[in-house]
Amino acid sequence: MAALLWLIAGIVLIVAEVVSGDLVLLMLGAAALAGAGAEALFGVTLLSAGVFAAVSIGLITAARPALKRRLHPGEHVKDNVAALVGQRATVLTTVDGAGGRVRLDGQEWSARTLDETQVLEPGTSVTVMQISGATAVVWADGL
């Protein structure tokens, strides 16, 4: 009876993976199937739970990252300040090589121009070229 419950849990988790697509439920489903096999072979529920735990930890930590890399090669998600590079911003106060303020991603940021000879007036549309500490280094659009 316990082997049947493990089997049902494994199948439900694998089917649920179709909705999530993150490969975690697939790994847990495979581990539940391993638990079902252990339960069917040995009939010891504690052993089946141990097999489930060991297989799920192994699959999630070793197999899942490798499988994700293979399924999504070259896919890299930018995060934090790296995601701001290339975005458009609007000058709030005059921006030059020494400083100024821009509205970037809905927030006010300190900024300076990439070309120290540029002077950008309020309302100018700029592109973020890099983030230096807490300062957006910008370049005027259209120049």
High-pLDDT (> 90) share of the chain, %: 71
Q: Where do the domains of the chain lie, and which CATH numbers do they carry?
A: 2-71 (no CATH), 80-140 (2.40.50.140)
Note the pLDDT of residue 142: 72
pLDDT tens digits for range 78-109: 667 778 899 999 999 999 999 999 999 889 99
Note the pLDDT of residue 44: 94
Note the pLDDT of residue 1: 86
Average pLDDT, the chain: 90
Q: Look at phi and psi of residue 105 and say left if phi exceeds 0, alpha if psi is from -120 to 50, else beta.
A: left
Average pLDDT over residues 28-47: 95
